[in-house]
Structure 1
C-alpha cells in the first residue's frame, strides 16, 4: 500500500496573501484526514513564505495521522521546530534559502559528515529519517551507510519526462533506484510534481511507501474541492482505501 501525505504549503501560501487567517491550514488538514489521507506534510522555510512555525505547532496538536516535516536542517529554526514537535517523520531536503522550490537531492559525498549527527539526533528522538535523493546509486548507498531510514525520490525529472511524452527511460532509472534502496533496507518515498496523470505509472514501481503531494493536489482542489481531490488521488494509489 502506498500512503498519501498531503503537503499543505500552498494552502498557507494563499492564506499569507491576506491577514484574515483564511484558508485555515488546520481546517485543510482535517478535511484531508477525513477524506482518507494517511499523512500531512509541511515544509517550513526560513522566510516563512508559506508554512509558519505556528502552523507546525497547531498541526502537531490536532493531527491523528503521520506528520512529516521536511526542510533543510542547517537553516534555523528548522531543527528547533522539529525538536519541539517530534513528528513521525523528518524529511531532510538540501534546499537553499532563496530556492524557488526544492530542485535536487542531497550530495552525500559532500554533506555526509554534516548530516550524520543530525540523523543520529533525530533517530534518538524516535523520528523516522528520510533523505531527499536523486536516483544516483552511489548516493543511495551512502544514504543507508549514514543511517537514514528512508529516501524520498525527487520526482521532478520523471514528471517532466512524462509531460513531454518520453518517460520510459527516466521511469526505469527511478524503478532501478527504488529496487536498489529496498534491497539495502531503505524504505522508499517519492515526491515533487506528481499528479493525477503521472502518479499511477510511478506507483507501478513496487513498494513505494509514501507519496507527498501538494501543488497539484491543491490545484485540483480548486476544480473539485479538497475532499474530492484527496479521494481522487487515493483511487490512483495501490491498494488505497477510501
Structure 2
C-alpha cells in the first residue's frame, strides 16, 4: 500500500487522513441522487408529527440551500455549514427553524442516510490501528459542511471511530484543506511541526498539493475507477436532462 510505504519512509508523529472517499467510502451515486432519496426519508420522518411535505420539494430546497450557502462560503473564504444549509431549507419549506438543529429531524435524517450509504475502508482502518499501536497519533481532517461531531458519529456507525484520535472539520474552523488554512489549524492544535506530520487522501488539491505547500508530507490515495464511474453517470444525467453534480 502506498500509504504504508510513506509511513515507513517519513515515520510521522501525527498521521492525518481524509474522511470521505478515503476512510469512509461512497458509491458512484451523485449528490443530487442522494438528496432525492433524502427527500423521501425526511418527508416520512415528518409525517408522524402531522407535517406533510412533498419529497421533491424537500430535495429541491435542500439542493438550493446548499448552492446558496456554498456561494456565500466562497465569497467569505470559508467552508459551508450544515446548520446554515438546513436553516435555509426550513425557511423555504415553512418549517419551524428548530428542525434545523443538530439533533432535529432534518439533521438526523441526513445522518441516517449517510450511515446507510457509507462503508468503512477496512484495509485503511487496519493500517491506522497498527500505526496507533506503535504510538503515532491518528487524526481525520475533512473539508466538509458537517461538523466534527457529526463526522465522528458516522465513523462510529461504520465501526472505525476507535481507529482515530480526533476529527477536524473545515466547517468548524472556517478554514479549508484546499486553501491550506485548515492544516495551519491542525498543526497548531496538535502541537506538532509540519515536517513531523503525514497526510493522506483522495483529492489532488486538498490532500496532496495544499499540505505540501504547508511543509506537510502527503500521499494521494486516488480512486480512479470511482472517478470514471461518477463522470460517466454525470454525463448520463446531462443527456437525459437531469442536473449533474459539480
User: TM-score, structure 2 length as denominator?
Assistant: 0.34
Larger relative helix fraction:
2
User: RCO higher in 1 or 2 (8 Å CA, sep ≥ 6)?
Assistant: 2
Greater Cα radius of gyration, structure 1 or 2: 2
Greater strand fraction, Structure 1 or Structure 2: 1
